[in-house]
A and B are shown apart, each in its own frame.
Chain A
Amino acid sequence: MLKNNTVQTIRDKALWMRRRAFTMVHDAQLGHPGGDFSAIDIIATLYFGVMHYDPTKPGLENRDRFIMSKGHATGALYTALCAAGYYPEEWLDTYMQPNSKLNGHPNRTYLPGVETNTGPLGHGMPVALGIAIAAQISGQDHRTFVLTGDGELQEGSNWEAAMTAGHRKLETLTLIVDRNRLQQGMGTEDTNGLDPLDEKFRAFGWEAVMVDGHDIGALLDVLAPARIGKGRPLCVIANTVKGKGVSFMENKASWHHGVPNAEQYRIALEELV
């Protein structure tokens, strides 16, 4: 019953995030809505069902950390941090406007709740690794979550970090791969194939699980349990749909950084209920 309530809460938050993010993209006529929508259920699950944090104390020492390595999906991140209480909703109206705190890629010096600056791909994993090592050195038990795109895993820096995390048995580190199988231009497997992704991470000393990235209950089941004592970092390969939730966007690479016209915006908000 408790879990059912949590699932419903997360669904409600995710729906609000999709509608709000799409409005931001529509108003700015800029953004990356396809990748926002594949990641939103994952991020909503983390912020509203898994992570421990206090939005009034963004620097809290033992807070759980979330690193948005796919920094272009700001529609997903900015709406999540807003819904989590880090800043008022009016800030979202300034998305990518001149001098806005809401840049096209997140900046931790602009916005509370942003843990590091991302944008160039392959940067989140090493930083998340460093956070987890700091916790290991200090004996802190907080968790560090990092979300990467799947195409992003073509960057070698991820594998440098994956090797170190496995070597150091960093059990408090959890990677979630937004496995929507599309990168900017075309499919990941047609570009520089990643499969079998779970086996790759296992070979690097990780526990690897596959999950439906839009099934909130399934995401909670793999992400919520504590990791202390597991002895290995966790990789959750979340199978997702780019553009999830809007019929004309789903699985369309063109919506990587496509933006809606007035009619598409109207249809999308009708579908997002």
Chain B
Amino acid sequence: MAAPAPQQEGFHDCRDAWARTLEDLAARDPRIVAVVNDSVGSSKLGGFQKTFPERLVNVGIAEQNMVGVGAGLANGGKIPFVSAASCFLSGRALEQIKADIAYARFNVKLVGQSSGVAYGELGPTHHSIEDFAWLRPLDAITVIAPADAWETEQAVRWAAAHDGPVYIRLSRMPVPDLTVKDRVFRPGKAEMVLAGSDLTLIACGTTVHLAAQAAATLRAEGISVRLLNMATLNPLDEEALAAAASQTGAIVTVEEAHIRGGLGGAVAEFTAGHHPVPVERLGFPGFVVTGSVNFLFEHYGITPHGIIAAARRALARKQ
């Protein structure tokens, strides 16, 4: 198991918000069940298991079975939250997700834990940087990567109430709460964290707060930076993208995922077809080298410094 990242003041592990919210929802709705692959601890579902032992279905280390069971539970009138490390959930059970959940449109919530490179030194077998690319084309599935604990709770609550498949991508990396005024969670809509007109930074999940730091530096230099928290990757908020492209003319995407097929891929697809503007994509170029999660973020430039450099490249291309 990877060493936990040092806990910083004001930073939260979003899994706590997820587990707390699920327990609260389950207390109100008997249809809610959890399905795991021996992942009670890593999903922080110990409390759920204690309170609702009969509603915690542990199929053991068997992800294909786990996802198929989720579809069956939905057929039987339950609202299953299938929770597992996202590398195994999205990779090992991809065909079940495609055929049993997306194509069959079962009301199943998939919760990918410790996504991205959260497992650090354990390496690419345990990383989940391909999940966006794998799941984004599965139209029926709403794909959400919450940026902080608040958004995690909102996403879980929304998923429970929504009749349809959802993939919620969580991390074990502590992140700070975003400061956004009068915040409202709107699935499928980008959240305008900062308004601006020179350049748009688009981030999701664990990278939004890094992009916010980069934006602060750039704004201090007089560059009017827009920052979008694109928590929902599918369906994509094309309206916000069209506005970003036409109003700011340059985009930088930042994600804890593969640079192909994820947030950056989605933005590039849309802008190429509708509003061609320079797009710089930050993420992982492929299987990563050995190192801690913090080392990997540094090594691949997914840092405020790396985002600022990408922003300068995008601005240079714009001119």
Residues on A close to B: CB < 8 A?
61, 65, 107-109, 115-120, 122-123, 125-135, 137-138, 140, 156-157, 160-161, 163-164
What is the size, in residues, of chain B's interface with A at 8 Å between Cβ atoms?
Answer: 31
Sampled A-B contacts (5; CB under 8 Å): A108-B104, A126-B68, A129-B65, A133-B69, A157-B64
Within 8 A of A (CB), among B35-50: none
Q: A134-B77, A160-B59 are in contact. Are A117 and B103 (CB under 8 A)?
A: yes
B105: chain A residues at CB < 8 Å are 108-109
Q: A123-B68, A130-B68 are in contact. Are A137 and B55 (CB under 8 A)?
A: yes
A157: chain B residues at CB < 8 Å are 64-65, 68, 96
B22 at the interface (CB under 8 A from A): no
Residues A133 and B72 in contact, CB atoms below 8 Å apart = yes
Residues B64 and A122 in contact, CB atoms below 8 Å apart = yes
The 5 closest A-B pairs by CB, nearest first: A130-B72, A126-B68, A134-B76, A160-B65, A130-B69
**Given A134-B73, A161-B65, 9 extra CB contacts under 8 A:** A116-B104, A117-B104, A126-B69, A130-B72, A134-B78, A135-B76, A140-B76, A157-B65, A164-B69
State the main secondary structure of chain B at its contact with A: helix
A108: chain B residues at CB < 8 Å are 104-105
Residues B72 and A132 in contact, CB atoms below 8 Å apart = yes
Specify which of B59, B62, B65 lies most central, judged by the most chain A CB atoms within 10 Å of its CB. Answer: B65
B100 at the interface (CB under 8 A from A): yes
**Shortest CB–CB separation between residue B63 and chain A, in angstroms?**
9
**Shortest CB–CB separation between residue B198 and chain A, in angstroms?**
46
B54: chain A residues at CB < 8 Å are 137
Residues B95 and A127 in contact, CB atoms below 8 Å apart = no
The residue on B at minimum CB distance from A135 is B76
Residues A160 and B64 in contact, CB atoms below 8 Å apart = yes
Residues B104 and A129 in contact, CB atoms below 8 Å apart = no
B65: chain A residues at CB < 8 Å are 126, 129, 157, 160-161, 164
Cβ contacts B282-294/A at 8 Å (1 or 0 each): 0000000000000
The residue on A at minimum CB distance from B33 is A137
The residue on B at minimum CB distance from A124 is B68
A138: chain B residues at CB < 8 Å are 76-77
Q: A109-B104, A164-B60 are in contact. Are A126 and B75 (CB under 8 A)?
A: no
The residue on B at minimum CB distance from A131 is B72
B33: chain A residues at CB < 8 Å are 134, 137
Within 8 A of A (CB), among B104-132: 104-106
B57 at the interface (CB under 8 A from A): yes
Q: Name A163's contact: one of B62, B67, B99 (CB within 8 Å).
A: B62
